[in-house]
Amino acid sequence: FEYTYEAYCNLYGTPVRTEVIEYVRDLAKAGKSDFVLSACPGFDLRTELTYELAPIASSLKNNTYWKGVELRDVYHKEALSIITTAFAENRVITRVSFVNTQCEIPESFGQALVSNRFNKIHILDLSGNKFTLKSVEALVTAFQQMNHCIQVINFNKVNLNNPGFRAMIKSWNINFGFSLGIEELNISNNDVGSSTNDFISWVSNVKKYSKLRRLAISNTGMQVGSIILELSGLKFLTYLDLSDAKFEEVIQTNLVYFCESIETLETILLSNTQLDISMYT
């Protein structure tokens, strides 16, 4: 990796950062295969990166050592746009985590996954960033055409709206195998309340064969009471986050039935729901 990195630095006319080279060597020596960009020495977490991402992104294109790429809690608005070039060609990266970078998720990210039919991404965490209409459309197209599943999807607080969420659900219904492979799904803190029926329909379609283990739909505005009746058919669900949801009395009864019907359920979060907890003790 380091020789390729040095070559791309020379190509782009950027300095070869010794701290990047040393960081890569330390990771390889420790047997770690996740390239955590925000842990690399040489920049302040409160500001922009002080080393150039373009040579690193280009070096990742055909690199077979790194299995994960992560950038977390760094205010770098162009980070994902730069790293996107790697996803268009890399065939071994399985984990992508860009969390709280304050960036708009670029359209080119979804386009890269569409063009690279052999991408191996199984964990996708874009929480704390912002979807645009075009970026959602591009990612939806990628979901619809993927020949493998993404097992973990974290879209917590990504500015996802009802049209975007409906389009996403539609792509999951079209690519049914993709849907069945989702094991963890987080769409919390997005205003998608009008998409309740679409979400219920999707759950109804997949519940018989779904591998879904963890689901977080807190603070979405969706009608939770109707959803939980369908969720009761999920055989492997262990974790459910319904925080900040509003429950009517009849819906509380539905929740009791739900809790009793799923033997695998270990954790259910109900904070800020104004529920009478005595009903569940």
Other beta carbons within 10 angstroms of residue 82's beta carbon come to: 18
Ramachandran angles phi, psi of 71, nearest 5°:
-140, 120
pLDDT at 277: 61
Other beta carbons within 10 angstroms of residue 203's beta carbon come to: 22
Q: How far apart are CA 248 and CA 222, in angstroms?
A: 13
Q: How far apart are CA 239 and CA 21, in angstroms?
A: 40
Q: Which residues of the chain have pLDDT under 70?
A: 42-51, 246-250, 252, 274-281
Strand locations in 23-130 (E):
34-36, 68-72, 95-99, 123-125
The alpha carbons of the chain give a radius of gyration, in whole angstroms, of 21
pLDDT at 43: 56
Q: Are 241 and 188 in contact (CB under 8 A)?
A: yes
Q: How far apart are CA 178 and CA 170, in angstroms?
A: 12
Ramachandran angles phi, psi of 215, nearest 5°:
-135, 130
DSSP 8-state symbol, 274: -
Strand partners, 68: 34, 95
pLDDT at 82: 86
* Beta-sheet strand order (sheet of 214-216): 34-36, 68-72, 95-99, 123-125, 152-154, 184-186, 214-216, 239-241, 267-269
Classify residue 242 by burial, with Cβ atoms within 10 Å: 0-12, 13-18, 19+: buried
Q: 35 by DSSP, 3-state: which?
A: strand
pLDDT at 250: 53
Q: How far apart are CA 195 and CA 172, in angstroms?
A: 14
